């Protein structure tokens, strides 16, 4: 998902606490039998969609989405889809305010890590059973859940892969991709680093490193790769104090500690394009940027799945579609959501925008893996996992970002980071 600024997030988190209290106090006029995590699935009626569907689309005006809306209208002549673009940096605030005020559109895109928080605000209808979870990658489907109830449909998948400059890695004697196991991967980075200023005169560091905001996206899979987690959903407790988390922190810090990555918040994308770094972990969007901004590098970079220690696991994020509790035309909205997430339409949208579809069948129908650089992302989606579906997740994620930065800069030890994370996460809690 694309996430708003820290300031906006914290402001809205404060707002949400207030809003939730109001919603709980009033019950929003809804049945006592319904509510977050206890909602019956919505139903999609027979026949074609009718009436107006108002949808918020996050990001810039999306002409490719509007093209799909036209196709939907052709198939449903009595339906009219109106799409309004909502910039990402104000989307969280706008969505939560609309839910609190009962002034929502019929449906919206929703950042995957916001789903639990907004479902807990009693904002969304539960997903109809006619939309099958088995049609999507399990990790992507899990992004729609709150208290084991699904409140949306995956629309855009997001995960990370490793980009590497073949012109630079070849000079380090690496034929093809870097090693897929963590120890071998580190050895390859060391071999690349040894060419800096020599065979690769411009190279400064073998790898780029994401520091600060959203660095948790790159670290949390390292915990899952150890066969562990940071949160036990059965007991509702955080588990930052385990040996597996310690190992994941050690692995994360080992790259900058050995001088294999910068610690100065460098522009990783630009550094990769300029040949200052040879390897970089990022989402699929980066490939489009490289092609657009540095077409002379086409054919000189490739992708590979993320390296792992005990088991391969990747991050599952992205954007889901949700229909609001206060939708004026929920039946048509669900029909449009169902239409957009049909494999053929997901494939069309992905080809037009460069985004990743959350459905394996969409990859097949769109023949997306014919693009060699997308194969690594397809592999990652097969083993992707969603972060904990708790309403306080953004606060927990911010805390992880802060502690990872201290660890990277040598201002905290692994043990100190573990102790701080366990203490602060427990204090923040899991919300509603």
> pTM of the full predicted structure?
0.89
Confidence band of 38 (pLDDT split at 50, 70, 90): confident
Alpha helices by DSSP H, listed for 102-234, are 115-120, 138-142, 166-169, 182-193, 216-225
Nearest to 170 by CA among 309, 308, 299: 299
The pLDDT of residue 1: 43
Which residues, in sequence order, are bridge partners of residue 301?
165
What is the rounded distance in angstroms from the CA atom of residue 93 to the CA atom of residue 91? Answer: 5
The pLDDT of residue 84: 97
The pLDDT of residue 33: 55
Question: For 193-215, how does the pLDDT look when each residue is reduced to its tens digit (9 = 90+)?
Answer: 999 999 999 999 999 998 888 99
C-alpha atoms less than 13 angstroms from C-alpha of 336 in its C-beta half-sphere: 37
Do the domains spanning 51-159+316-385 and 161-314+390-428 agree at the CATH topology level?
A: yes
Structure tokens given for 123: 């904002």
- SS3 of residue 174 by DSSP: coil
pLDDT at 20 over 50: no
pLDDT at 10 over 80: no
- SS3 of residue 87 by DSSP: coil
What is the rounded distance in angstroms from the CA atom of residue 56 to the CA atom of residue 41? Answer: 22
Instruction: Looking at the structure, give the CATH architecture of the domain made up of residues 161-314+390-428.
Output: 3-Layer(aba) Sandwich (3.40)
The pLDDT of residue 430: 93
pLDDT at 7 over 70: no
pLDDT at 150 over 80: yes
Q: What is the CATH number of domain 51-159+316-385?
A: 3.40.190.10
Question: For 318-365, how does the pLDDT look when each residue is reduced to its tens digit (9 = 90+)?
Answer: 999 999 999 999 999 999 999 999 999 999 999 999 999 999 999 999
Identify which has the larger pLDDT, 358 or 37. Answer: 358
Query: Where exactly are the structural domains of the chain?
Result: 51-159+316-385, 161-314+390-428
Torsion of CA 361, 282, 140, 21, to 10 degrees: -150
Which residues, in sequence order, are bridge partners of residue 308?
181
């Amino acid at each position: 998902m694309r996430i708003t600024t820290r300031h906006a997030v914290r402001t809205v988190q404060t707002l949400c606490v207030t809003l939730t209290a109001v919603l709980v106090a009033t019950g929003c006029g809804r049945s006592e039998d319904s509510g977050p995590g206890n909602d019956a699935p919505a139903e999609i009626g027979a026949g074609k969609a009718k009436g107006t569907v108002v949808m918020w689309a996050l990001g810039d005006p999306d002409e490719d989405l509007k093209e799909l809306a036209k196709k939907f209208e052709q198939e449903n002549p009595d339906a009219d889809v109106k799409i309004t673009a909502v910039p990402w940096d104000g989307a969280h605030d706008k969505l939560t305010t609309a839910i609190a005020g009962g002034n929502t559109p019929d449906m919206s895109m929703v950042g995957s890590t916001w789903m639990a928080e907004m479902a807990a605000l009693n904002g969304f209808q539960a997903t109809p059973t006619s939309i099958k979870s088995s049609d999507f990658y399990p990790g992507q489907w899990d992004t729609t859940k709150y208290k084991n109830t699904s409140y949306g449909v995956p629309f855009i998948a997001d995960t990370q892969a490793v980009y590497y400059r073949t012109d630079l890695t070849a000079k380090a004697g690496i034929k093809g991709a870097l090693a897929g196991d963590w120890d071998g991967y580190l050895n390859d980075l060391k071999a690349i680093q040894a060419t800096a200023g020599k065979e690769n005169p411009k190279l400064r560091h073998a790898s780029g490193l994401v520091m600060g905001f959203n660095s948790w996206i790159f670290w949390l899979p390292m915990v899952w790769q150890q066969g562990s987690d940071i949160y036990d959903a059965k007991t509702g407790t955080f588990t930052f104090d385990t040996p597996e988390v310690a190992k994941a922190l050690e692995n994360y810090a080992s790259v900058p500690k050995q001088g294999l990555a910068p610690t100065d918040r460098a522009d990783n994308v630009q550094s990769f394009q300029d040949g200052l770094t040879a390897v970089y972990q990022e989402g699929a969007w980066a490939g489009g940027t490289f092609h657009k901004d540095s077409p002379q590098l086409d054919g000189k970079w490739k992708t590979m799945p993320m390296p792992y220690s005990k088991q391969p696991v990747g991050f599952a994020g992205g954007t889901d579609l949700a229909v609001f509790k206060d939708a004026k035309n929920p039946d048509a909205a669900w029909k449009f959501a169902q239409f957009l997430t049909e494999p053929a339409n997901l494939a069309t949208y992905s080809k037009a925008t460069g985004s990743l579809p959350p459905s394996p069948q969409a990859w097949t129908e769109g023949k997306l893996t014919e693009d060699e650089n997308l194969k690594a992302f397809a592999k990652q989606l097969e083993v992707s996992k969603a972060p904990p579906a708790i309403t306080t997740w953004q606060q927990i994620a911010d805390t992880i970002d802060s502690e990872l930065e201290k660890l990277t800069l040598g201002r905290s030890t692994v043990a100190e980071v573990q102790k701080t994370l366990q203490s602060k996460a427990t204090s923040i809690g899991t919300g509603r």
